[in-house]
Amino acid sequence: MRRYLLSLLLCCLPLTAGASSLTLLSSYPQTMLSHFIEAFEAEHPDIRIDLLWRRPQDALQWLDENNGAGTDVVWLPSWRAFQQLKQQDFLQPLSLHHDVLPASLGDFPLHDSDNAFIASEMAGYGLFFVPDDLERLNLKAPERWQELTDFAWYQHIAMPVPSQVGYAPMLIDQLLQAEGWQAGWSQWLAIAANSRLIGRGSDFVTDQVLQQRASIGLTLDFFAESTIASGGNGQFVYPKQTAFNPAPIGILKRAGNVEAAELFVQFVISHPGQTLLLHPDIRKKPVNPQVYAGRSLANPFALELQTAYNIDQGLHRREFNSALFDAAITDNHQLLTTVWQAIHALPASQHPPLRQQLLNWPVNEPDNNDANLQACQQRHDNNEAEQQCQAFQQHWQQRFQAHYQQLLDHIQSR
């Protein structure tokens, strides 16, 4: 904290002769940023970094209100935010040396096709659990998300709600893309029926597991590894099919100090900068495969994972998917789990047709021109769009509620 108070004081003092300043806009924790700022300033003592910290949801608004002026480098863990900045023509092409960085992880891009921004680190989706707890329950750590649809996992899963937990929308969509729209949603219904839902204001998924309110949690590697490093007796695994969420960095067109900005971005993606991501205070996944060499940590580039994911498609339907998740699952979770439990209380021979009936997904996959998809996509910027998206969600909430209740009545009348 003293480091940042000092920075605020220094910003008001004249620079020494030959020195220059660089303004960095970021939403990363100040602990992480302090390591990068101090390392960069030690390497470039003639450049001082002034940190402009904003929450992720406030950073774009601040840039928009100021038309991108007064900031040199933007560093946010949000591919979506950088796509918006590119669409608004706020970013300038990067002229950096990044030959050692791969263009992608599987089918997942690690830099913009027009070189407007580049990934600085990434986080992958997977499962956190305590091995002894699973062994005690006679459960095996899943290799695929689909294994969590088994009723043996009933009430043992902690699952984040995508409309309330920032990292969850991509978690949901990666399975929809991998399995197909109908099959993917059917699997999420079954997994959700086995789950405790974790929403805004709840404990972290990892805390749910450590406190034995769940036996396994759906989360990001960063949260799991930080928990383990803090003494949590847990383990994290990537399912065979998953996605990685890259965090970009870029330079604004109206940057006042382009030369210093390029030096900072170059430092972040350099081998020393990427190695700094492994610091115990940070624990992020580097995008430079060479940094993993000789270290005992999971290397996403070396794991046999299926990482095919269309991030543009995922971003287009992010809010649409979240509205559907709430309609089918969040708003009807108690009824869904009641039906699920009732089905599995019947003789095993009766399970397949009833499960199929419950998990049949009735909503068609939208294209990018779908009116409700576009309304949900614009819901946070437009009152009319928000009302249309809410009406769409309410319609399907009632449809799912009626479907679950009808099936429950059918089971109870047998």
Question: Please, what's the b/e burial string for 285-313 (b: 16 or more CB within 10 A of its CB; e: otherwise)?
Answer: bbbbbebbeeeeebebbeeebebebebee
Could you tell me if 26 and 35 are in contact, meaning their C-beta atoms sit under 8 angstroms apart? Answer: no
Give, for 247, the enclosing helix (H) or strand (E).
strand 244-251
Residue 195 three-state SS: strand
Among residues 319, 343, 383, the alpha carbon closest in space to that of 163 is found at 319
**4 φ/ψ sector (left φ>0, alpha ψ -120 to 50, else beta):** alpha
Residue 298 is predicted with a pLDDT of 86
Among residues 348, 47, 355, the alpha carbon closest in space to that of 189 is found at 355
**N-to-C CA span, the chain:** 65
Q: Hey, what's the torsion of the CAs at 69, 109, 31, 38, to 10 degrees? A: -70
Tallying the residues shown for the chain, one arrives at 414
Residue 25 three-state SS: strand
Residue 18 is predicted with a pLDDT of 53
CA-to-CA distance for 25 and 93, rounded, in angstroms?
Answer: 18
Q: Does domain 2-122+245-292 have CATH number 3.40.190.10?
A: yes
Cα 304 to chain center, whole Å? 21
- Find the largest Cα–Cα distance for the chain: 86
What is this structure's pTM? 0.90
Residue 16 is predicted with a pLDDT of 45
Q: What is the pLDDT along the chain (414 residues), one digit of tens a residue?
A: 434 433 433 343 444 445 689 999 999 999 999 999 999 999 999 999 999 999 877 888 899 888 888 899 999 999 989 999 999 999 999 988 777 788 888 878 898 989 999 999 999 999 999 999 999 999 999 999 999 999 999 999 999 999 999 999 999 999 999 999 999 999 999 999 999 999 998 889 999 999 999 999 999 999 999 899 888 889 999 999 899 989 999 999 999 999 999 999 999 999 999 999 999 889 999 999 999 998 888 899 888 877 778 888 999 999 999 999 999 999 999 999 999 999 999 999 999 999 999 999 999 999 999 999 999 999 988 999 999 999 999 999 999 999 999 999 999 987
CA-to-CA distance for 196 and 208, rounded, in angstroms?
Answer: 9
Q: Is 183 exposed, middle or buried (0-12, 13-18, 19+ CB in 10 A)?
A: middle
CA-to-CA distance for 394 and 388, rounded, in angstroms?
Answer: 10
Residue 31 three-state SS: helix
Helix axes 333-344, 383-412, angle to 10 degrees: 30
Question: Phi and psi for 295 in degrees, rounded to 5?
Answer: -115, 145
Residue 124 is predicted with a pLDDT of 93
Counts of helices then strands in the chain (DSSP H, E): 17, 12
Q: In 180-316, which ranges are continuous DSSP H helix?
A: 181-193, 205-210, 221-229, 258-269, 271-276, 311-316
Question: What single letter denotes the amino acid at residue 37?
Answer: I
Residue 286 is predicted with a pLDDT of 96
CA-to-CA distance for 223 and 44, rounded, in angstroms?
Answer: 32
